[in-house]
């Protein structure tokens, strides 16, 4: 007997945090909802983190996922930007943890490889594959498409993770 699991994928960002909820029943995936949490770049960091956290708490309560998949922070040359992105990721993880979701983390290259087959795929390729795998999704932004990709990645890898 194959269980159905509801998963929220999160693509954290200080200005735009993408989210996507899917259901996985074995290899069958279906779209539930997706969107973007936006905060003003002019707002103080603490306010932006609160917006992300509070919005994700509401989304989790509304859609009732049991598991969360969050994209890991991409480390770039700008250490300050990487650190700030880490704050956004922490706000998202805290929301999922407060709702007692099982949380999995995936590197951006692993997500791209799971969705497109290549770890260095372009955003457009990821979005195109998300649309093929979830034809009813129609993500409103690249961030929402990336979040759906994270959720799909988790749906593919979760059985290996839970077997450990």
Q: Which of 23, 43, 140, 143 is catalytic?
A: 143
Q: Which of 71, 78, 105, 146 is catalytic?
A: 71
Q: List, in sequence order, every residue forming a beta bridge with 8; answer none if it has no partner.
A: 21, 68
Please list, in sequence order, all residues whose beta carbon lies within 8 angstroms of the beta carbon of residue 78, skipping any fewer than 6 positions away: none
Q: Which of 11, 58, 72, 78 is catalytic?
A: 11
Is 143 marked active-site?
A: yes
CA dist 17 and 129 (Å) reads 20
Written as six digits, the tokens of 25 are 């029943």
Contact 84, 14 (CB under 8 A): yes
| Residue from 102, 137, 124 nearest 19 by CA | 137
Q: Which residues are catalytic?
A: 11, 71, 143
């Amino acid at each position: 007997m194959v269980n159905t699991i509801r998963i929220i994928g999160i693509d954290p960002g200080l200005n735009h945090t993408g989210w996507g909820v899917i259901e996985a029943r074995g290899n069958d995936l279906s779209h539930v909802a997706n969107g973007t949490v936006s905060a003003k770049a002019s707002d103080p960091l603490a306010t932006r983190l609160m917006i992300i956290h509070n919005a994700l708490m509401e989304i989790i309560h509304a859609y009732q996922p049991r598991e969360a998949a969050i994209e890991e922070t991409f480390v770039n040359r700008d250490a300050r930007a990487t650190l700030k992105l880490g704050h956004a990721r922490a706000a998202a993880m805290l929301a999922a943890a407060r709702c007692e979701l099982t949380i999995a983390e995936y590197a951006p290259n692993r997500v791209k490889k799971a969705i497109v087959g290549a770890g260095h795929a372009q955003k457009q390729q990821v979005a195109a594959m998300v649309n093929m795998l979830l034809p009813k999704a129609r993500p409103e932004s690249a961030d929402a498409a990336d979040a759906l990709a994270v959720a799909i990645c988790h749906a593919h890898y979760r059985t290996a993770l839970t077997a450990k």
